Structure 1
Amino acid sequence: MLSTKPSFCPLIEASIGRAVYSPSLITPVPLFKAAHQGVRRFRTFTQWIPPSSYVLLSCFSVQLGLALMKSLYSSLGSAGTVFLCKLIGTVLLLLFYRPCWKLYSLESYVLVGVYGLTIAVGSYAFYAAIERIPLGIATTVEFLGPLGVAFLGSHRRIDLLWIFLAVGGVALLNPLSPTSVNLDLVGMGLALLAAFSWGSYIILAGLVGQVFPGGSGLALGMGIASLLLLPGGIASGGMALLNPSVLLLGVLVAFLNTVLPYSLEFAMLKQVPPRIFGILISVEPAIAAIVGFLILGEQLSFKTLIAIVMVISAAMGVTWFGRQNPHA
């Protein structure tokens, strides 16, 4: 769960607090108050739900965000959309967590820098990949990242069963059909890069969470990711990035697709081993199918139902046996 330790910058926090809550200043005080109240409520909320539930909430949030994100593609393109969401997400995370920029070692800055790099590279590579290869194939290849982390980190035979169920379920939900698909080599390479970045992100998030208090590491890493995405985002989105309607929708998408899921995953990776997270995250394609059925009216085939049962069984198995052997 998120740390409730005091900030490393009490003087900065005190000055910000006086500026924010001073009635003499003409500033959007309700916005800042709502942000701080939201953080406190989020911390309270995450204290009474099990860590394994974080990934479910994260996946649902991501799928809702992706449904809305499609509306931004026509105006901004994929690079512009990713940049806008990460930039707005950075602003919200900085407001929420108010990280301190000082009092850390050079190794800590390098760590959070590499962490931000994995966020930027993974996001850009995946959305660049789906411009060249079908979404189903890109998603399947990308899941090699977390499932690879789960496999390499497994020390028990029972874990191989959950990995097998997760891999099989993801493959059934995103079937590869060579007869109907022209596999672009650049697109496949980008999908593999996204997979590697996602796996690296899972490992680094836990390390960053141990060095930086609360969500400070997440906010700093997201800021670095936004800077790295800036050139391509501006080139793709141009002046459309300043359109008020685009910005308004961008705030909603950024919260659903960036702020909430990354915060939940960051909190979870502080408490569970990367191998368990790598298996649990495999429920995301199943949740996408369920969201499509409930919201978009899409039909669930028998094969899809079998796949959903497989990934949910893997998630339940790793959660139950992980609870029985928390240090295994």
Structure 2
Amino acid sequence: MPAPGLVMGGVLGLQCGAALTTRLYPVVGPAGVVSLRLCLAAVVLTALWRPGLRWDRTTLGVAAAAGTLLAVHHLSYYEAVDRLPLGAATTMEFLGPFAIALFGSRRAADLLWACLAAAGVVLLSHSGIPLDTAGLACALLAGCCWGGYILVGKRLAERVPDGRGLALAVTWGALLSLPYGIAQAGSRLLEPTTLALAAVVAILSSVLPYTFHLEALRRLPPRTFGVLTSLEPAVGALIGLVLLGQHLAVPQWAGVLAVALASIGATRAPGRAGPRRRVGSSVDGHVRARQSREPPC
């Protein structure tokens, strides 16, 4: 599968899984959802890849950092989804990948895309339906962690050529989140109906998306990966509308679209410029080489 298809498949899985978790919130709460999701995903990934611990300290440290970022991201993101419409939470969370795409650019024109994204955030959070302030803060924290995971995940994908690194990272994240889940939900985590729905969420939201994303990160630079997820806010808003009946006001829809368009714009222009520079430098090199071989007149 092409790398863009892997990224979009991961985006759909993440948002559909996030929509399903709303059924678990009344039973186990956001922390319980995170614990179940990561623990079940860790079991599946460990059974598939059997990662072991015979790695150098640097690789173990990168895997631990990735797992820590996943745990904090999940805890903050699901707290945000519990307080905000799915589209609003996803839009605020996406600012992390967008920042990576923006900081990786050397184009002055990208400041315009940054202003458009900022305008989108203002439209989303200060118009139409009032949004919970704590939920917005949690979504922003999730965005910081997601942006950090893109950078660390790139290193992990380069150091481990298969899914063993991901299995170890998710297992570490599950261990970190488990105390919070037990404190919030207790024995309700082990109810059969809860476990069955949590297993579906774990496959949709963790196993498939993170496997897809890690494979995509092996082929793409972090900046490109960050922008390929530019449709995630719109996807989250649409899934929230279709599956959950969550409505946004017209200005908030405009904010979602502004962030998505800013991300697309920040990505596409540098992507076209790069190949032209490489082709030009290659042609210049051939010309210089040919001139050096030709005898002087």
Residue 80 of structure 1, aligned match among 32, 37, 45? 32
Please name the residue that 2:74 is paired with: 123
Q: CA deviation at 1:133?
A: 7.2
Distance 1:108 1:298, change over 3 A: closer
Distance 1:62 1:74, change over 3 A: same
Quick check: 1:94 aligned with 2:52?
no
Provide the rounded CA distance (Å) in 2 between the counterparts of 1:299 and 1:181. 12
3-state SS of the aligned residue for 1:282?
Answer: coil
* Counterpart AA for 1:175: S
Residue 238 of structure 2, aligned match among 290, 307, 310? 290
Quick check: 1:183 aligned with 2:152?
no
Please name the residue that 1:215 is paired with: 163
* Counterpart AA for 1:322: G
Question: Which ranges of structure 1 fall in alignment gaps of 5 or more residues?
Answer: 1-45
Q: CA deviation at 1:223?
A: 0.3
Distance 1:260 1:161, change over 3 A: farther
Please name the residue that 2:190 is paired with: 242
Provide the rounded CA distance (Å) in 2 between the counterparts of 1:62 and 1:275. 20
Residues 58-93 of structure 1 show CA distances to partners (whole Å, capped at 9, x for unaligned) of 221122111211111111111111100011111111
Q: Percent identity between the aligned chains? A: 37
Please name the residue that 2:200 is paired with: 252
Q: CA deviation at 1:167?
A: 5.0
Q: CA deviation at 1:194?
A: 2.5
Q: CA deviation at 1:139?
A: 4.4
Provide the rounded CA distance (Å) in 1 between the counterparts of 2:53 and 2:272. 36
Please name the residue that 1:195 is paired with: 143
Please name the residue that 2:221 is paired with: 273
Residue 155 of structure 1, aligned match among 106, 131, 148? 106
* Counterpart AA for 2:28: L
Please name the residue that 1:261 is paired with: 209
Q: CA deviation at 1:188?
A: 5.8
Q: CA deviation at 1:287?
A: 0.8
Q: CA deviation at 1:131?
A: 5.7
* Counterpart AA for 1:113: A
Contact 1:79 1:232 in 2 (8 A): yes
The number of equivalent residue pairs is 276
> TM-score w.r.t. structure 1 length?
0.72
Residue 63 of structure 1, aligned match among 1, 6, 15? 15
Provide the rounded CA distance (Å) in 1 between the counterparts of 2:260 and 2:132. 28
* Counterpart AA for 2:159: V
3-state SS of the aligned residue for 1:71?
Answer: coil
Residue 152 of structure 2, aligned match among 188, 204, 219? 204
Provide the rounded CA distance (Å) in 2 between the counterparts of 1:148 and 1:64. 24
Please identify the structure whose Cα radius of gyration is greater: 2
Task: Say which structure, 1 or 2, has more relative contact order (CA 8 Å, 6+ apart).
Answer: 2
Contact 1:150 1:163 in 2 (8 A): no
* Counterpart AA for 1:61: G
Provide the rounded CA distance (Å) in 2 between the counterparts of 1:74 and 1:55. 31
Q: How much is the aligned-residue C-alpha RMSD, in angstroms?
A: 3.3
Contact 1:165 1:314 in 2 (8 A): no
Provide the rounded CA distance (Å) in 2 between the counterparts of 1:317 and 1:195. 18
Quick check: 1:109 aligned with 2:77?
no
Q: CA deviation at 1:261?
A: 1.4
Contact 2:37 2:206 in 1 (8 A): yes
> TM-score w.r.t. structure 2 length?
0.78
3-state SS of the aligned residue for 1:213?
Answer: coil
Distance 1:268 1:88, change over 3 A: same
Q: CA deviation at 1:141?
A: 4.1
3-state SS of the aligned residue for 1:99?
Answer: coil
